[in-house]
A and B are shown apart, each in its own frame.
Chain A
């Protein structure tokens, strides 16, 4: 029994990072209908920025975390401006290919300039294990869950309560109507990329600290899984991304716990397909009528 609880806890920790990444996917998809393949690589960049701030500038972990989020937010805005904005009126698949190009560029550029080998992430916070009965959790694991929850609540506040959040929701619902209402669409989209990238960077820095290693390709697999999480929860829906992330994390953990580690990714994709067939818009998705 205790081991099942422990496995659930493991799943939630793993899922928290997927959730942070999935939020970025879902916001971007919600607003410009783009599967932003470069998102996982922004997560990687965030980890490298964190590495740089801690290892080279010797900053405090939390300052490094915030700075990495800020710099990555800037990178996200630049990526959108250079590679996606010129394609606003083009077929959606052109933007998708451009996103793939950005992803290749970040992965291979980082490998080229900084080497493709793994780097050990500086252990800015010493690991302390806490025991609650049979359950075991470390301070870093608590930090991951805590940061993820705080950031998600913050995001919800921004989207629900601020003017910019309202603009985001408006652009996502109907871009043309939003323009007519005097909303600056470009600025709103930039803002969305900034927020999404900052969340991804937070995930990257936390993962760096937790697993103690980073490399230029670290964003590939989590990127795809986070996208799956976003679809599972209902793409375009912010609570859905969080739910999807945690679900995927728990699923992956439980598959391994019952001894199916050979098939852990296959199970995740299998469930994705089943859910899509049963409810194409995702778990929290609304079934909207198609409009002409």
Chain B
């Protein structure tokens, strides 16, 4: 068992290295240019936020409409702290603080609302995100609607690539851990899970807090990369953008999230040439994909290297890819 496990881990690692080399070669020979670079980094940032949201939705079965609020917390933490301490230490500190604040807010919101079933989390997070945004608009320190600019940039594609890989690895391991399995049990059947003695609220709150912290991380990275933040960046639409990545990829499927983040990023680049028609096309794509693949591109299953490369027959996860 340990040896086969090692084999899969190694093949995933191999894939990651190959991807890294591919991007590196593409930059060295200037095939994708500065714009390709920017697009890659933005895809990576959306990816980090979406993986966090997928943990919340996929693992707890409740959905959040306020991811933008947590991203805003991270973004403003980085904007304020990294501007005050413009070195790499300050930047890392700002990310940590942003994630902590965001985690605490999530804890405060999550504990009362996650006790309930239904769409309460969605409504509460929607409200919290709007409140965060309105407070940011009215505070002096956040410089109101104009936002903060001139934030030092510590982010390039290598940083985002590294952080994305680490985040995905950690989240996947978390899902496979005992805690993660408990969370999935909660999603699949809350009453049964509760009757087995699993503290359902606790695990939902854990998933929610991790999701919020990853959102803050993504927000902080984006603030540093774009070098400016403003409250308009974190409206309801931003929450929806991330939510769409998760749902199109397949709720609960981390590889689905990765694939969709990339596909939507590329689609955006292609649609850019359509001008105002782009959002119309985007809307139609959204409806059509949902009608024909209501469980998302990958459903709840994961891309499995085991199936792809070694094909031993017995599937690691019990879900079949027939969404």
Task: Identify the A interface with B (CB < 8 A).
Answer: 35, 82-83, 86-87, 90-91, 93-98, 100-105, 107-109, 111-112, 224, 228, 231, 262-263, 265-266, 269-270, 272-273, 276-277, 280, 290, 292
Q: What are 16 A-B pairs with beta-carbon distances under 8 A?
A: A35-B122, A90-B294, A90-B295, A91-B295, A94-B247, A97-B247, A98-B287, A104-B280, A112-B277, A262-B137, A266-B134, A269-B130, A269-B131, A273-B128, A290-B191, A292-B191
The interface-forming segment of B10-18, B92-100, B109-117, B147-155 is: B109-117
Name the distance in Å between A211's Cβ and chain B's nearest Cβ. 22
Q: In the complex, given contacts A87-B294, A269-B130, A290-B117, what are 14 additional A-B residue pairs having Cβ atoms less than 8 angstroms apart? A: A87-B290, A93-B247, A96-B247, A100-B244, A101-B284, A103-B283, A104-B280, A109-B280, A262-B137, A263-B134, A266-B131, A270-B131, A273-B128, A276-B123
Q: Which of A35, A102, A104, A112 neighbours the largest number of chain B CB atoms within 10 Å of its CB?
A: A104
A263 close to B138 (CB less than 8 A): yes
Rounded to whole angstroms, the CA-CA distance of A101 and B279 in the bound complex is 10
B124 touches A86 (CB 8 A): no
- Are A265's CB and B134's CB within 8 A? yes
Given contacts A98-B286, A265-B134, A272-B123, contact A108 B280 (CB under 8 A): yes
Q: Which residues of B contact A231 (CB under 8 A)?
A: 123
Residue of B nearest to A37 (CB): B240
| B positions within 8 Å CB-CB of A | 57, 63, 112-113, 116-120, 122-124, 126-128, 130-131, 134-135, 137-138, 191, 236, 240, 243-244, 247-248, 251, 276-277, 279-280, 282-284, 286-287, 290-291, 294-296
Contact A265 B130 (CB under 8 A): yes
**Closest beta carbon of chain B to A32's beta carbon, Å:** 13
Which residue of chain B lies nearest to A102 when distances are taken between CB atoms in the complex?
A: B287
Please report the C-alpha to C-alpha distance between residue A272 and residue B279 in the assembled complex, in whole angstroms.
Answer: 32
Known: A83-B287, A86-B291. A280 touches B131 (CB 8 A): no
The complex places the Cα of A185 from the Cα of B243 at a distance, in Å, of 30
Cα distance A228–B119 in the bound complex, in angstroms? 12
Contacts of B294 in A (CB 8 A): 87, 90-91, 94
**Contact (A262, B126) CB under 8 Å given A83-B287, A93-B57, A105-B283:** no
Shortest A205–chain B CB gap in Å is: 25
Decide: A97 and B277 in contact? CB cutoff 8 A: no
| Chain A facing B: main interface SS | helix
In the docked arrangement, what's the CA distance between A265 and B129, Å? Answer: 12
Distance, CA A266 to CA B120, complexed state (A): 18
Known: A98-B291, A276-B113. A269 touches B127 (CB 8 A): yes
**Chain B residues with CB below 8 A from A93, complex form:** 57, 63, 247, 251
> Which residues in B have their C-beta under 8 angstroms from that of A105?
280, 283-284, 287
Q: Are B279 and A104 within 8 A (Cβ)?
A: yes
In the complex, which residue of chain A has the Cβ closest to the Cβ of B292? A86
A97-B286, A276-B124 known; A262 vs B280 contact (CB < 8 Å):
no
Residues of A within 8 A of B126 (CB): 224, 269
| Bound-complex Cα distance A93 to B245 (A) | 12
Complex A-B, nearest 7 residue pairs according to Cβ-Cβ distance, in ascending order: A90-B294, A101-B286, A104-B283, A269-B127, A105-B283, A108-B279, A101-B287
- Which residues of the partner chain A approach B243 to less than 8 Å between Cβ atoms? 97
CA A94 to CA B291, docked complex, whole Å: 8
Q: Tell whether, in the assembled complex, residue A94 and residue B290 are in contact, meaning their CB atoms are under 8 Å apart.
A: yes
Interfacial chain B residues near A263, Cβ < 8 Å: 134, 138
- In the complex the two chains form, what is the Cα distance from A266 to B127 in whole Å? 8
Q: A35–B125 Cα gap in the complex (Å)?
A: 15
In Å, the complex CA distance between A263 and B294 comes to 39
State whether B290 touches A108 (Cβ < 8 A): no
Q: Smallest CB-CB separation from A87: which chain B residue?
A: B294
**CB neighbours of A292 from chain B (8 A):** 191
- With a cutoff of 8 Å between Cβ atoms, the chain B residues found around residue A107 in the complex are 279
- By a CB distance below 8 angstroms, the chain A residues around B287 are 82-83, 98, 101-102, 105
**Bound complex: CA A104 to CA B124 (Å):** 23
In contact, A35 and B119 (Cβ under 8 angstroms): yes
Q: Is the CB of B240 within 8 A of A100?
A: yes
Contacts of B247 in A (CB 8 A): 93-94, 96-97
Q: Give the distance in Å from the alpha carbon of A265 to the alpha carbon of B136 in the complex.
A: 13
Q: How far is the CA of A94 from the CA of B276 in the complex (A)?
A: 26
Q: With a CB–CB cut-off of 8 A, which chain A residues contact B283? A: 101-105, 108-109
Closest to A29 in B: B119
